[in-house]
Amino acid sequence: MDNPIQIGNLVQCNKSDDLTKPFLGKVKRIMDNHVIVQILHFDASDRWVADKVQYTTLIKKCNIKTVVVHKRAQ
């Protein structure tokens, strides 16, 4: 893992027990081996599942990667 996981980080989640496709989320809580992630952007095929879990899911730390957002120079 390149960057340490912190609350509020944007993360790319590759594997989840709830969703079948990779998705983008925001870290809400950090535990020993897992992270609670708010689901922000997901594949359309997972829309019903995302709604069912109220856009929140539990992910193993090894299955997420921190996303770095760069501002464009104008």
* Per-residue pLDDT tens digits for 18-63: 999 999 999 999 999 999 999 999 999 999 999 999 999 999 999 9
Confirm whether 54 is domain-assigned: yes
pLDDT of residue 31: 95
Is residue 72 one of the residues assigned to a domain?
A: no
With residue 64 as reference, give the H or E element that holds it.
strand 64-66
* Residue 21 belongs to some domain of the structure: yes
The model's pTM: 0.86
What pLDDT score does 1 carry? 45
Is residue 73, in this structure, part of any structural domain at all?
no
What one-character-per-residue DSSP string does 28-45 give?
Answer: EEE-SSEEEEEEEE--GG
Is 5 a member of any domain? no
Are the CB atoms for 6 and 28 separated by under 8 Å? Answer: no
Identify the residue with better confidence: 1 or 69.
69
Determine the structural domain holding residue 36 and report its residue range: 10-66
Q: How far is CA 12 from CA 30, 38, 64, 73, in A?
A: 15, 11, 6, 24
User: Looking at the 3D structure of the chain, how many domains does it have?
Assistant: 1
pLDDT at 19 (0 to 100):
94
